[in-house]
Amino acid sequence: MIEELHAKATKGRAATNGRATLGRTTLLRDVYRSLINSGRTYAAFRDEDRSTVARLIDRSPVLDPMSGYGGLARLCAELGIQSSGIEYNPAQYFWQLLSHPARTDMHLRAIATLLRQRRNWPRTRQRAVVADEFFPHDTRALVERLFNLIQTTVAELPSSVAKPWEVTASLLLPFSGRLACTSPGDVSTHTKEGGTCVLLGWQDDFSSYLDALRSHLELIKERSKCINHEVILGDARSVDLGNRRFRSMFTSPPYPNHRDFSSILLPENTLLKVIGCSNGFDVPFVREGIIGSNFVKGAERHCPTSSVANRFMAEALTVRRNKRAEYDDEVYYMPYFRNYFYSLENAYHNIAKYLHASFEGYVVIVNNTHRGIVIPVSEIVQDIWQSLGFRTEVFHAMESSHMGAKNPRAKGLRARHTEYVVRIWR
């Protein structure tokens, strides 16, 4: 069985237009396979958004207060525009550092050195590990040795690196899921803690990962017309930007789809705690506090002030439902929606303090459904910004099939979603 999995991983190497990529059968996690191969993944900005971002070329830097995997920075780099991104999820923040165009030369030198040092990579006699946690003792020891090797390599690079551990974490995190004991979740991007970790052939996979990452970084270097991009690890609801005043913004909030956004990168964020404790650094992150998180049990209950949000929730409670659905709405869905909309309000209220008098921005939004009712996120976002003294309009709207529906048999309203691009200005 283990040999079969290793054979699949070996076949997972592929090439596209002469570039090294990761094939579908790789044991690396899908979310990073997609990021390395195409530079984008779940809920990313589309190439069609490029023309909208280009409207802000004279208003740089462009702000993204919920920057995710850095989709705006990618578009801005290719358009020759400066950007500033704020991200609360540490694993996504470190991916942005890894893909930062100003760091490509440093990362490429580190990769070249690591590949030459393959004989020094950690070794293990085990073929597989089964555990109820992501990183039991055996794999934790392997990951920590690998981290120390990368950090030593980075520290010895000719260029000056202020935080070698930060660069090391950026290089290691996309591969770390390969060394975690996991089992598949109900969504392809999610994993559950505990399962099997195949250690057989991990060095070959690490080599393939570094080759594909090198191609990814070389492409970034080739396409980037601007390398001035700021990445801030912080919470949009409370981040302090000092006296700065941004004249533009292009962003997208997490969508209310009742799923835990933090679990998408749970193995990677768990590893940050593991290696942080051993290496003297700490990356603050409260998983339950992420905007869009579905943790409601024991959480403090909040209520949004948006009349549109409250009207939607009141309407949702009038839908004819069975007793089970009524119970679910009372103990989970309504608390979830209240906290979600309250978090959006707090984030936008805080960010509005740092926007210039001549500000113009765009928010990309997808309206999902609940109990056959459209969740009017677009209207709620406009309502929040209008309450802050801004003007809003729907700049663009597009309806399409919801190919990512959890239920493949979903029909009608549940099988479709509408994407809005909302313009905001003073």
pLDDT at residue 263, rounded to an integer: 80
* Parts of the chain with a pLDDT under 50: 2, 5, 8-12, 402-406, 408
Angle at 87 between CA 47 and CA 74, to 5 degrees: 25
pLDDT at residue 259, rounded to an integer: 65
The model carries a pTM of: 0.91
Look over the chain and give the mean of its residue pLDDT values, rounded to a whole number.
Answer: 88
> Residue 374 and residue 371: Cα distance in Å, rounded?
8
B/e letters for 42-63, b = 16+ CB within 10 Å, e = fewer, are: bbbbeeebeebbeebeebbbbb
Structure tokens at 399: 């309806």
Closest-CA residue to 153 (of 97, 107, 218, 211): 107
pLDDT at residue 12, rounded to an integer: 47
pLDDT at residue 285, rounded to an integer: 76
pLDDT at residue 11, rounded to an integer: 46
pLDDT at residue 403, rounded to an integer: 43
pLDDT at residue 93, rounded to an integer: 95
pLDDT at residue 413, rounded to an integer: 53
The tens digit of pLDDT for each residue in 126-151 reads 999 999 999 999 899 999 999 999 99
pLDDT at residue 415, rounded to an integer: 56
Specify whether the CB–CB gap between 192 and 178 falls below 8 A.
Answer: no
> Residue 400 and residue 95: Cα distance in Å, rounded?
29
pLDDT at residue 400, rounded to an integer: 63
The tens digit of pLDDT for each residue in 202-260 reads 999 999 999 999 999 999 999 999 999 999 999 999 999 999 999 999 999 988 866 66
Q: At what angle do helices 164-176 and 202-223 cross, to 10 degrees?
A: 120
